[in-house]
Structure 1
Amino acid sequence: MPPRDRSGDRSGDRPGQEAGNGAGDGDAPDDWQHDLTEQRLSELRKIRRLMLCSFLLAAFTATYFARDVLLPIVLAVLLTLTLRPVVRGLQRIGIPPGVSAVLLMLAIGLGFAVAGYFLSGPIGEMAARAPQIGTEVQRKLAGLMDRLASIREVGEQVTEMADAAGATGEKMEVVVDQSGPIPSAVGSAASIGSTLVAAMILTLFLLASGDFYHRRIVEASPKLHDKKRALTIVRDVERQISRYLGAITVINAGLGVAIGIALWIIGLPMPHVWGTLAFLLNFMPFIGAIIGTVAAGAFALVSFDSVPYALLVPLSYFTLTTIEGNFVTPMLVGRRLELNIVSVFVTVAFWIWLWGVPGAVLAVPFLVVVKAVCDHVPSLKAFGGFLSGDPAVKAEDREGDPKDRTGKPAARHA
């Protein structure tokens, strides 16, 4: 038998070995490229987070310093979102958007004018009596509590200053501030009035434009499903903010009537003024009820000789606002618009710090708009579920099962 040629075997084995070695050597560049790609992606994520934080910081700074400019714009946008369904309903019966906008703004302006006319006298009188009311309240409460520590400290400081001046023979000059609360109140009223006028004029133009801005938002979206989603978000925001502000306005009006009747039964002077103030103050969550309770209690201590009887006024005010906040509002506003109390408190505190009293009024409507947007954006649904006050709604939003409770596939909305 002829000897086998082993060179062929060896040559046949080498390609496989070389191929195997080549494959093994080829994995190293791929792994290196993969690690480099992951490193670059990680760096890009860090840069994106840094840019987002910088943008938010710049936005908050601009919002804080541009309050006088942004406040009427934000108020006009909220009024437009609230009244847009009304304008659209009037358009269905043949009334043009421009005519509807003019009629609505005239009605709102007339309401503010009538309310200001009837309330300016009593509120001005109460503001003029503010120092007297403060003095009377201190006198009435002197038998129930010790003097305030701050007043005692101020008195001691004044005494020390007088003793020092007498020892040196120098005359001590006393400056009395004659400004009082009236000029400050007039300045605040003028500022509020100018803001409301600017907001109403801008609202008139926005309502008269019809669906012009809706079409621009849809046209700005590149894809068809993005257009549908944008239109759905805008319509849902309009529906929810209109429903919320409408319900809150009715609830606050009922609360104002109830407080006015309760204080009239107790015998407090000007109960209609306190009812109107309760209606306005209740647009500010948390702090509105506190301000109204303290102010009504102070006025009651001046109006009644008996301190225990005067305390019925703040007790009635606080009881009615508590019933409204814990039972009436959750029942009438509904599950879909119910918000988490923690998120409401944090939002109100933030906007009070940012814009003061107007921020407290606009905080909850702003939160409703944010929640409506989050409900339609998949990446923000978890945050929208956190803002919701209904655990059932949050659980349904977080479920990723595309089937409904009947077992059938749920319809997917673009």
Structure 2
Amino acid sequence: MRPAHSIAGAGLPRGVIVLLGTACLVVVVGGMRITADLLAPVFLALMLTVTISPIAIWMRGRGVPLWLAMIANVVAVYLLLAGLGVAMAMSLARLVDLLPQYQQQFLDLRADLASALGSLGIDQAQVMAALDKATTPGQIVGVIEWIFGGVAGVLSNTIFLLAVLLFMGVDAVDYPSRLAASGAQRPQVVGALREFAQGTRRYLWVTTVFGLIVAVIDTLALWALDIPLPFLWGLLSFITNYIPNIGFIIGVIPPALLGLLQGGVEKMIWVIVVYCAINFVIQSIIQPKVVGDAVGLSATMSFLSLIFWGWVLGPLGALLAIPLSLLAKGLLVDIDPATRWINPLVSGGPLPATDSGPAAGRDGRVTEPADPAEPD
């Protein structure tokens, strides 16, 4: 007797199935955009819980009581979040206090720029009106707040985020045993979820290590160049390191601007050169190769993930682009042997081993093994 999914699939042309799937995807993505304020904290809590869950699992393996492992899990993720929030709040407060001191430098820079554009035949009145809107300390603070806005916006909804982290942290302690119990009935689903957790953990650890290296080097370099608030810009480098491909560009703008205000074009160029020598080499050449080998996503897929999740969930979506893509890949590709042919097309590392699932014919269709009780 033929499997039920073979009978159902034979009733509709492949093109119609693709169109229906695409329409469903559009509806799901639209719903995610509408509920982004709710989903973003949940996804952040999920990624943090997946990252620190080995702590509780290790403690349970050493015979630590269940309740103590749960407390350690929750406290660890709370401390991580609190440390990041305090560092961001203190740094932004210092930036707000510092920028008004550069009011005169802003005015001089604006006048020089208007004069240069006026020499090219551009109306200076229109130039000054445009610069009045774009070159004020308040606007610069707004840009920095937008950069930090994804995480800062989630941190502002503290009660909801802490509640989600509490329940996820408690459940994560005995989640491996739950997966093992479900593996007998749904081995493909359990395998996909485990691969997602392992890939997310590898990505976050690798990116965190590279982010710390970049942040320390940037902080020391900016301190040597006498750029104000080097710790803030080092923290910004650490956070934007989680943004694939374009994080380096976002991180260089504020310190380069302060270098321009403090020391002119020469100091700004020095800041850009130092960032290019450090951040570009590490974040754009070395790190993508290591991350691609660790999680199995190509550079193109990483960039498209950034664009897509940033559009759906905002700044926090850009920060969590790779983990969210791994989750989508696990639920839509790895979970079904019939769709695992997509893995080599999106992989950034060594090709995955072929599965002993249903074989694909030359026309791309999956053929089921013949049923000996069914006539040809």
Could you tell me the TM-score, scaled by structure 1's length? Answer: 0.69
In structure 1, the residue matched to 2:281 is: 323
Do 2:241 and 2:248's aligned partners in 1 also have CA atoms closer than 8 Å?
yes
In structure 1, the residue matched to 2:166 is: 204
Partner amino acid, structure 2, of 1:339: L
2:80 is the counterpart of 1:108: yes
Structure 1 CA distance for aligned equivalents of residues 118 and 340 of structure 2:
54
Task: Return the offset for 1:299.
Answer: 1.0
Do 2:100 and 2:137's aligned partners in 1 also have CA atoms closer than 8 Å?
no
Do 1:72 and 1:196's aligned partners in 2 also have CA atoms closer than 8 Å?
no
Task: Return the offset for 1:340.
Answer: 1.0
Match of 1:192 among 142, 154, 158: 154
Structure 2 CA distance for aligned equivalents of residues 136 and 55 of structure 1:
55
2:95 is the counterpart of 1:123: yes
Q: Matched residues, percent identical?
A: 22
Partner amino acid, structure 2, of 1:79: L
Q: Deviations over 1:160-201 (max 9, x none)?
A: xxxxxxxxxxxxxxxxxx995579959958633224553343
Structure 1 CA distance for aligned equivalents of residues 272 and 247 of structure 2:
13
Pairing 1:386-405 to 2, within 5 Å after superposition:
386-390=345-349, 392-393=350-351, 396-397=353-354
Partner amino acid, structure 1, of 2:299: I
2:175 is the counterpart of 1:242: no
CA RMSD of aligned residues (A): 4.1
Partner amino acid, structure 1, of 2:31: A
1:397–1:308 Cα change, 3 Å: farther
Do 2:310 and 2:317's aligned partners in 1 also have CA atoms closer than 8 Å?
yes
In structure 1, the residue matched to 2:303 is: 345
Q: Deviations over 1:200-241 (max 9, x none)?
A: 4312211212466666667677xx3x5333333222222221
Q: Deviations over 1:72-93 (max 9, x none)?
A: 1111122222222222112222
Do 1:218 and 1:227's aligned partners in 2 also have CA atoms closer than 8 Å?
no
Gaps of 5+ in 1: 1-36, 159-177, 403-414
In structure 2, the residue matched to 1:298 is: 257
Provide the aligned length of Structure 1 versus Structure 2.
Answer: 341
Do 1:133 and 1:302's aligned partners in 2 also have CA atoms closer than 8 Å?
yes
Q: Which has the higher contact order (CA 8 A, sep 6+)?
A: 2
Structure 1 CA distance for aligned equivalents of residues 186 and 110 of structure 2:
63
1:78–1:234 Cα change, 3 Å: same
Partner amino acid, structure 2, of 1:101: N
Task: Return the offset for 1:280.
Answer: 1.5
Partner amino acid, structure 2, of 1:193: L
Pairing 1:83-94 to 2, within 5 Å after superposition:
83-93=52-62, 94=64
Task: Return the offset for 1:313.
Answer: 0.6
In structure 1, the residue matched to 2:371 is: none
Structure 2 CA distance for aligned equivalents of residues 291 and 299 of structure 1:
14
Structure 2 CA distance for aligned equivalents of residues 399 and 98 of structure 1:
39
1:212–1:368 Cα change, 3 Å: same
Larger CA Rg, structure 1 vs 2? 1
1:333–1:42 Cα change, 3 Å: same
Gaps of 5+ in 2: 1-5, 130-135, 360-376
